[in-house]
């Protein structure tokens, strides 16, 4: 898995992503926090978050057979905003 993970991260960099994460599907430690976050309405207009509820903490329930979760981070603010040069 290490060689494949390195290739996935390299592809992510080539595509311009700021970070690539690869995680296990056991997110049970996050379930209580997700439940509280949803209950507080922090998901705003992201109705899909409430619709699927705890499946968000159980990836294999969203897509049967899921073994890993690959997450990509992409900064979408204009570069000048990040540099403090925004009008």
Distances (CA, A) of 51 to 8, 27, 45, 47: 30, 18, 11, 6
User: Which pair of structure tokens corresponds to residue 47?
Assistant: 């109705």
- For residue 87, name the pLDDT band (cuts at 50, 70, 90): low
| Residue given tokens 């040069």 in the structure block | 85
Tell me what pLDDT residue 42 has: 94
Q: How far apart are CA 19 and CA 32, in angstroms?
A: 26
Q: Give me the residue spans of the domains in the chain.
A: 2-82
Q: Is the pTM of this model over 0.85?
A: no
pLDDT digit string, tens, across residues 25-83: 898 898 999 999 999 999 999 998 888 888 888 888 888 999 999 999 998 877 777 66
Quick check: 86 pLDDT over 90?
no
């Amino acid at each position: 898995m290490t060689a494949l993970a390195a290739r996935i991260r390299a592809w992510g960099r080539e595509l311009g992503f700021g970070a690539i994460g690869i995680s296990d599907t056991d997110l049970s430690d996050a379930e209580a926090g997700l439940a509280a976050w949803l209950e507080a309405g922090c998901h705003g207009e992201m109705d899909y978050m409430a619709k699927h509820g705890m499946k968000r903490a159980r990836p294999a329930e969203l897509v049967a057979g899921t073994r890993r979760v690959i997450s990509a981070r992409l900064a979408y603010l204009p570069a000048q905003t990040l540099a403090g040069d925004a009008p």
